[in-house]
Structure 1
Amino acid sequence: MTILVTGATGTVGRNVVDQLLARGADVRALVRDPAKADLPAGVAVVKGDLLDVDAMRAAFSGVSTLFLLNAVVPDEFTQALLALNLARDAGIERIVYLSVIHSDIYVNVPHFAGKFGVERMLEQMGFNATILRPAYFIDNDRAIKDVVLGHGVYPMPIGDKGLAMIDARDLGEIAAIELVRREQSASPLPLERINVVGPDTLTGTDVAGIWSDALGRTIHYAGNDTAAFEQNMRNYAPAWMALDMRLMCERFLTDGMVPEAGDVDRLIAMLGRPLRSYRDFATEIAASV
């Protein structure tokens, strides 16, 4: 049977595709432009997006398991609900959905609230799903590495509560493990949630210290000015997204992204190896400059 991956060309989705292929899965990928997809041989590429109802119906035909990843866009919630309704019409019972940790706590942050709404719909519609709830992606900080390297400042206002940052490669592998587990089960498995976190819960000062160690010079934490963060982000992102990200950072300050007891051990057991750390990431960047 076939596993359909949405968001297959993005950071997480591509890792999911690679990990599924490594496990011998029959993979179909939904992409906007097949000519630019650059996916491995063996992946069946179908053209479409989550608002193209006809394309989605065609993409879902013959699919047994779905990896549902929605980008952070203004109509993210609508995209997800259309996909779930079309999946149900197609008889797809097995789903792995990419949500976010604390989606039920960060209730004023648009993309968190939207994902929590999708979680509720998965339950109400009776889907057999794994809901993955990842923390902040370590990989996000590739976008600010030039600030760290060039100005000696870690600019993300992540606060003092701590974030258990996760490497997207680990997330992709965990998603693939769950997709294959559900795909190969003789009967659909019950709904469950998994917090996908990194091995360390780090504050802004902690992260600056890790960069200092990796680079051999002092890197300062820029502090918790979320308003300045929003204004800076508006230089390269839409105003709605800049505000969304500011609201998220404000919840970093008040709530953090802190694992529950047993989360890290559960993930290590699933992977059969240690989780990748932020220190691994910073050391890799430092070695490349």
Structure 2
Amino acid sequence: MAGQRRILVIGATGTAGRQVVAQSLKAGAEVRAAARDPGTAGLPDGAEVVRVDLADPDGLRAPLDGVEAVFLLWPFATAEGMPAILDAVAARARRVVYLSSAAVRDHERRIERMIERSGLEWTFLRPHAFAANALRWAGRIRAEAVVREPYGAAAMPPLHERDLAAVAVRALTGDGHDGATYELTGPETLTQAEQATVIGEVIGRPVRWEEISPQAARRRMLDRGWPPEAVDGVLRAQAEMVTEPAAATPTVEEVTGAPARTFRAWVTDHADRFRAP
């Protein structure tokens, strides 16, 4: 019966994973939440927090005992190591819900193909930009009520992590999702500058967008330790969304029966992160 499965959430301490844990518990599932350090995971009561290191596939045997479905977030920018993880999952579970991305990067495509050949029931989640990406502006907004970034005209439909989790939980606990690929977005397309304006409206303090060059943004991200390929990928995607805005999809509502949450709703949920002390 839907909601009465034992689930292992790999990536449980991330923005999306925490929501998958919480909503799976609410749906009545038994939840094991994988964390490298269970003592500091801070996950909801009711979840069984277990130690998992994805570099050690043998360590998955006990956490997978009795598990029927696995939520899989792969935190690496390569598919290396995934075959052994999938072998461990396929030996014990029967279903996997994999968090891919709308960009379907090379390693994500490879992982999807591995999963398709694994013999597991599978569902792929391909989210577009997360509303939570706006948190990278939070420090500057708290300090100066300004966002200094390139490509203010880049337009996208930001996705609330609660909506991604709601779709994931349907696929983990219910039937009818085997072989499905869900492209997930929020309900409205907004430019980055418009997102900054919404944040200001919610916190009651106007937030100004200050355009900087892509070159300046690239230097700043590299100085923060971002890998060059990741920096270039982000800036390239933003440039493309200036001329080709990403369109909203109806998938969240089609799968869950509830409309996707707006960016304003997401900001309201996280408003304290943007308000000055």
Given the two structures, how large is their TM-score scaled by the length of structure 1? 0.81
Distance 1:156 1:18, change over 3 A: farther
2:190 equivalent in structure 1: 202
- Whole-Å Cα distance in 2 between the matches of residues 125 and 158 of structure 1? 41
The list of structure 1 runs, each at least 4 consecutive aligned residues, that deviate by more than 4 angstroms after superposition, is: 286-289
- Does 1:178 find its partner at 2:171? yes
SS in 2 for 1:81: helix
Q: Residue 129 in 1 paired to residue 122 in 2?
A: yes
> Structure 1, residues 214-243: CA drift from partner, whole Å, max 9, x if none?
4453512425x333223212343x342x54
1:200 partner SS: coil
Q: Distance in 2 between matches of 1:83 and 1:93?
A: 14
8 Å contact 2:151–2:211 — kept in the other structure?
no
Of residues 10, 17, 21 in structure 1, which corresponds to 2:21? 17
Residue type of the partner of 1:16? V
Which residue of structure 2 lines up, in the alignment, with residue 164 of structure 1?
157
Seen in structure 2, the aligned counterparts of structure 1 residues 12 and 176 have a Cα distance that, compared at 3 Å, is same
Please tell me the root mean square deviation across aligned C-alpha atoms, in Å.
Answer: 2.6
Question: Which of 181, 192, 197 matches 1:193?
Answer: 181
Give the aligned residue type for 2:18.
Answer: R
2:66 to 59, 62, 65: 62
Q: Give the match for residue 95 of structure 1.
A: 96
The whole-number CA distance in structure 1 between the counterparts of 2:191 and 2:35 is 36
Structure 2: which amino acid aligns with 1:222? Answer: E
Structure-2 residue corresponding to 1:28 = 32
1:219 aligns with 2:208: yes
Partner of 1:251 in structure 2?
237
- Scaled by the length of structure 2, what TM-score is found? 0.84
SS in 1 for 2:111: helix
Q: Distance in 2 between matches of 1:217 and 1:42?
A: 40
Q: 1:48 aligned to 2:52?
A: yes
Contact 1:227 1:246 in 2 (8 A): no
Q: In structure 2, what is the Cα distance between the partners aligned to 1:209 and 1:58?
A: 48
> What runs of 5+ residues in structure 2 fail to find an aligned partner?
none
Distance in 2 between residues matched to 1:42 and 1:210, nearest whole Å = 35
Instruction: Tell whether the 8 Å contact from 1:127 to 1:191 is kept in structure 2 after alignment.
Output: no
The answer on whether the counterparts of 2:58 and 2:88 sit within 8 Å (CA) in structure 1 is no
SS of the aligned residue for 2:126 comes to strand
Give the C-alpha shift of residue 126 in structure 1: 4.1
Deviation at 1:179, TM superposition (A): 0.8
The equivalences for 1:74-93 within 5 A come to: 74=77, 76-88=78-90, 90-93=91-94
Unaligned ranges ≥5, structure 1: 104-111
User: Is the CA contact 1:156–1:204 (under 8 Å) kept in the aligned structure 2?
Assistant: no
